[in-house]
Amino acid sequence: SQTIHQWPATLVQPVGSPLSLECTVEGTSNPNLYWYRQAAGRGLQLLFYSVGIGQISSEVPQNLSASRPQDRQFILSSKKLLLSDSGFYLCAWSVGRSGANVLTFGAGSRLTVL
Amino acid sequence: GQNIDQPTEMTATEGAIVQINCTYQTSGFNGLFWYQQHAGEAPTFLSYNVLDGLEEKGRFSSFLSRSKGYSYLLLKELQMKDSASYLCAVRDWSNDYKLSFGAGTTVTVRA
């Protein structure tokens, strides 16, 4: 069966520090991978998605970036965090992108920027 | 965006029924999803609708009317563990098949 791992679960970072969140998927090949952010009281905002190694689509211009160095690995990074980067970050995967393809989420990473 | 609207909060009594409405606007409708999200946890998939009508899964049912841009999630025989946020999400083929989420409806079940 397929599983998705995301870490770290919780982190507190000072403004201006770097960030690296990692996500890996097991039990499937060539998954579609996504990074979402959920701010308090707001819906899930799609940040990045990837349909293959090295292929990244950015949804929102910001100081975050994403990389996919391996088929089942998706990394969210920042060189300098802002206060507004605080939130709940969720990695997700799907087999395909259309129709009934379900997004399955990782457990999430709660980031607090102070 | 897909302008997905759903109520912010709903409260119901254990054993009762609650209906969560969702309206949306999209150029290329390619399916509607409902997810459940407990506080501090990741969303989990509940249901998928692409054709008009009712899909039933145990205590949960989801309805879709594409012409009205409307869906609802019906929770029957409410249990305390059903207290959670329920997210409506729409896939749009004209938006590269991306899945857009509503802000969620927080359901509180009271004894």
On chain A, the residues whose CB falls within 8 A of the CB of B96 are 57, 97
Question: What chain B residue is nearest to A108 in terms of C-alpha separation?
Answer: B42
Give A43 or B58, the one with higher predicted confidence: B58
pLDDT tens digits, A50-107: 999 999 999 886 899 999 999 999 999 999 999 999 999 999 999 988 888 999 999 9
B2 — pLDDT class (breaks 50, 70, 90)? low
A39 — pLDDT class (breaks 50, 70, 90)? confident
Q: Which of B42, B45, B97 sits opposite A97 (nearest CB)?
A: B97
| pLDDT value for A2 | 87
State the Cα–Cα distance between residues B72 and B20, nearest whole angstrom: 5
pLDDT tens digits, B65-108: 999 999 999 999 999 999 999 999 999 999 888 999 999 999 99
Opening angle at CA B5, ends B73 and A35, nearest 5: 90
On whether any CB of chain A is under 8 Å from the CB of B97, the answer is yes
| pLDDT value for A43 | 85
- pLDDT over 90 (residue B1): no
The structure tokens listed for A88 are 């709940």
The structure tokens listed for A17 are 């520090």
pLDDT tens digits, B25-35: 999 999 999 99
- Report whether A99 contacts B30 (CB < 8 A): yes
- Quick one: what percent of chain B has pLDDT higher than 70? 98
- Residue B68: other Cβ atoms inside 10 A: 10
Question: Phi first, then psi: what are they for A85, rounded to 5°?
Answer: -80, -10
